[in-house]
């Protein structure tokens, strides 16, 4: 059965939909060879058509080695600082070598245009450094 987001007519479902649309950073947690969780803040794009997260990784990042050993991951948004507004996805990550480079994904470039300009100058510069495309298919979401 394919993953489905919570019903957006519910309070939690609306919160999930809003944060997937509006947030720029999500924590991506992989597990290293010793079994230790390794959280890293990443940029992401929620792909509604496939119900997957699209993430571009720096080539050579440790998370890529972790994923080769164990594709199980979690993704979570920052809370509200008081223990609330928690949203955590769990699922499986996979390498997506046929994915378009980041600079050719219009929605991604639009979402991160100011971040890209500030840190990389151009979308092409970003795509050259963050050239490994990952897809995460969630299996569950929880939070409050």
Query: What CATH number does residue 79 fall under?
Result: 2.30.110.10
Dihedral (C-alpha) 60, 138, 47, 62: value to the nearest 10 degrees?
Answer: -10
pLDDT given for residue 1 in this prediction: 61
In a domain, 63, yes or no: yes
In a domain, 106, yes or no: yes
In a domain, 102, yes or no: yes
In a domain, 5, yes or no: no
Domain total in the chain:
1
In a domain, 1, yes or no: no
First to last CA, the chain: 24
State both tokens at 56: 């571009």
In a domain, 44, yes or no: yes
Please give the residue range of the domain that contains residue 16: 11-143
Cα–Cα distance, 57 to 73 (Å, whole number): 15
Per-residue confidence in pLDDT tens, the chain, 144 aa: 678 999 999 999 999 999 999 999 999 999 999 999 999 999 999 999 999 999 999 999 999 999 999 999 999 999 988 888 899 999 999 999 999 999 999 999 999 999 999 999 999 999 999 999 999 999 999 998
In a domain, 64, yes or no: yes
Cα–Cα distance, 89 to 118 (Å, whole number): 29
In a domain, 45, yes or no: yes
């Amino acid at each position: 059965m394919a993953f489905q987001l919570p019903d957006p007519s519910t309070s939690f479902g609306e919160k999930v939909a809003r944060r997937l649309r509006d947030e720029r950073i999500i924590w991506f947690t992989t597990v290293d060879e010793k079994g230790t969780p390794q959280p890293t803040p990443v940029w992401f794009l929620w792909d509604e058509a496939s119900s997957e997260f699209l993430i571009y990784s720096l080539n050579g990042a440790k998370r890529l080695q972790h994923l080769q050993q164990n594709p199980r991951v979690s993704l979570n948004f920052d809370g509200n600082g008081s223990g609330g507004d928690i949203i955590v996805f769990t699922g499986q990550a996979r390498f997506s070598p046929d994915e378009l480079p980041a600079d050719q994904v219009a929605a991604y470039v639009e979402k991160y245009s100011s971040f890209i300009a500030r840190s990389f100058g151009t979308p092409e510069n970003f795509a050259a450094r963050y050239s490994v495309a990952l897809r995460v298919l969630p299996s569950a979401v929880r939070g409050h």
